[in-house]
């Protein structure tokens, strides 16, 4: 083989070296950007889950309050119904 076939142009080696240096130099910034994106995504998911849990808890508490009030209100009518039944039976 001739000498010309085994040598590489200096401009090519310089461009490859520059690209490799650029990639190595950008790696920490890319890694930090990925970390910050993942962290912000996780935090936004946790905030959304907390809001949803609070809403569902409020609905459950409201339903329990309504059931309690319904029970309290029906106690009076049950007593009146029993009293009326006893009066009718004895009358």
| Cα 65 versus chain centre, distance | 29
Q: Is the Cα dihedral 65, 68, 72, 77 positive or negative?
A: positive
- Alpha helices by DSSP H, listed for 1-91, are 3-6, 10-90
Asked whether the whole model's pTM tops 0.75, one would answer no
All structural domains of the chain with their residue ranges: 8-90
**pLDDT on residue 6:** 72
Tokens of 50: 């907390």
Q: How confident is the model at residue 91 (pLDDT cuts 50, 70, 90)?
A: low
| Start-to-end C-alpha separation, the chain | 129
pLDDT tens-place string over residues 70-89: 888 877 777 777 778 888 88
């Amino acid at each position: 083989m001739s000498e010309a076939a085994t040598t590489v142009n200096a401009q090519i080696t310089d461009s490859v070296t520059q690209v490799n240096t650029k990639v190595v130099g950008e790696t920490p910034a890319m890694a930090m950007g990925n970390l910050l994106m993942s962290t912000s995504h996780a935090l936004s998911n946790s905030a959304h889950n907390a809001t949803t849990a609070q809403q569902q808890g409020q609905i459950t508490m409201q339903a329990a309050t309504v059931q309690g009030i319904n029970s309290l209100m029906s106690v009076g009518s049950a007593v009146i119904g029993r009293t009326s039944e006893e009066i009718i039976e004895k009358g």
